[in-house]
Chains A and B, each alone.
Chain A
Amino acid sequence: NAGVMQNPRHLVRRRGQEARLRCSPMKGHSHVYWYRQLPEEGLKFMVYLQKENIIDESGMPKERFSAEFPKEGPSILRIQQVVRGDSAAYFCASSPQKNEQYFGPGTRLTVT
């Protein structure tokens, strides 16, 4: 049973470009969570999704950031018009039910 997959593992974008981060949950998992880790910090919750629904987006910046988890395919975290402050590691976690989250390897985004 493959774990949570994230791609790309490393992504470099120039300021103003768009970044798309993908997360494929573990088989049978219908809950997906996105977290951001700034350098030397712990992970911070961004958004919680179930298939075709955003359940909690209280940690998402109000502008430029969006997330989706379509009926088919991976969950996508999209950052428009990236800025240097968006440079971070972005982790996805999936869960088959409440109270258990399995993390992917993360995507390290660098904005130049």
Chain B
Amino acid sequence: AQTVTQSQPEMSVQEAETVTLSCTYDTSENNYYLFWYKQPPSRQMILVIRQEAYKQQNATENRFSVNFQKAAKSFSLKISDSQLGDTAMYFCAWMNRDDKIIFGKGTRLHILP
């Protein structure tokens, strides 16, 4: 069965610093998608970044980038120049061609002023 593991339940960093959130997953499939979702206190699920497993190049969206290591089944999220508005729960997620998304348990990120 596919699983997604986020080993850091909670993290705190100072504003403007860089922070990396860890994620590992387990699957025997070769074609799949990986995501990072942000859930602020409003509880809205916001897609932060998306990676297709067949693409070797790491995805980047402004201050957000990933380090995708397919062989190691690792998919970490780096947030550069962190801002107060980045405070939220962050969920790593995996999806296969059947479109069922498997979520990790989340990392609660606090950006401190």
Contacts and interface: CB of A to CB of B under 8 A. Distances in A.
B91 A43 contact: yes
Interface residues of A, number: 25
Nearest to A105: B44
A41 B101 CA distance: 14
A33 B105 contact: no
Contacts of B19: none
Interface in A60-105: 89, 91, 93, 95, 98-99, 101-103, 105
Contacts of A95: 99
A44 B2 CA distance: 13
Contact of A91 (B42, B45, B95, B105): B45
A28 interface: no
Nearest to B46: A103
Contact of B44 (A56, A99, A106): A106
A63 to B, nearest CB: 21
Contacts of A102: 47
Contacts of B97: 98-99
A59 B99 CA distance: 13
Interface in A9-66: 31, 33, 35, 40-45, 48, 56, 58-59
Contact of B98 (A44, A56, A91): A56
A42 B103 contact: yes
Contacts of B55: none
Nearest to A31: B99
B4 to A, nearest CB: 8
Interface of B: 4, 33, 37, 42-47, 91, 93, 95, 97-106
